[in-house]
Amino acid sequence: MEIISSRKNYNVRVMRELLKSAEYRREQSMFAVEGDHLCRELAACNDCSAIEVFLYTEKAAQKYPETVRMAQAKAHCSSVITDELSEYISDTKTPQGLFAAAEVFVREIPENAKKLVVLDGLQDPGNVGTMIRTAEALGIDGVVFINGCADRFSPKTLRASMGSVFRMPSVCPEVETLGEWLHGQGFEIYAAMLDKNAVRLGEVAFPEKTAVVIGNEGAGVSSEVAKICDKKLYIPIKGAESLNAAAAAAIILWEISR
């Protein structure tokens, strides 16, 4: 197989833009992953019908033969690239030489969902990815994204989620319809807030159908979302003024999952 070495190659340019540009990802309705773990996760994901482009180095083929085999089997186009191109494309400091691009796909939240987490304007892709991974680990049924959360398919979000993005059901409703939708499905909505009127985590008997809102890292839960929430919830802490959003979400979701 011919080894691609030119930066002008069409698939090389597409892969690099997908990893570097959120605007390009939106325009193309595509995303890209890199590295052994995420390429293997994408290749194994049933909700991803096909990998559009798969690029890999000869060294990667020797080091990760099973991932290369799986990705090639699912890819419309598969090509070998030089190590220099791998460094050019990569979004990381130490690229593993594996890159895959696919169309954006979403797993719908099941009708019988009972536990949901609502991410309200979270801007840190690392936090968003970590929360998605935590939600999957704790058996939460779906993630709701509102108010312009960080891109679920950005490289940083995907790395933080460790592939959970591919499996976790999700939806992105308009904030104006959120309350009607959740209440219409029988959910009681809790907002994680530092408020004197909030109920203390550990003293709450969560109902069967619970949705908890985690707010923006700096501003917290937005005012329009706070209005539709049934109760406010806080985590009692000592010493520190507050918790990182992802850490707070992990504590609350563990409590809900109990």
Separation CA 38–CA 202 (nearest Å): 36
The two structure tokens encoding residue 169? 């059901």
pLDDT tens profile 84-123:
999 999 988 899 999 999 999 989 999 999 999 999 999 9
Residue 91: predicted pLDDT: 86
Global pTM? 0.91
- Of 184, 181, 256, the residue nearest 225 (C-alpha): 181
H helix intervals, 10-76: 10-20, 22-28, 36-44, 58-63, 65-74
pLDDT of residue 198: 86
Mean pLDDT score of the chain, rounded to an integer? Answer: 93
Block means of pLDDT (10 residues each) for the chain, 258 residues, are 91 97 95 97 95 97 98 96 96 93 94 95 94 96 94 94 95 92 95 84 91 90 92 85 87 92
Structural domain boundaries of the chain? 3-103, 115-257
CATH number given to 115-257: 3.40.1280.10
The domain 3-103: what is its CATH number?
A: 3.30.1330.30
Question: How many Cβ atoms sit within 10 Å of the Cβ of residue 73?
Answer: 11
Query: What pLDDT, on the 0 to 100 scale, is given for residue 220?
Result: 87
Angle at 240 between CA 235 and CA 241, to 5 degrees: 75
The DSSP 8-state label assigned to residue 7 in this structure reads T
DSSP symbols for 141-185? -EEEEESSPPPTTSHHHHHHHTTGGGTS-EE---HHHHHHHHHHT
Q: What is the pLDDT of residue 181?
A: 94
User: What's the pLDDT at 224?
Assistant: 92
| Distance, CA of 48 to CA of 42 (rounded, Å) | 7
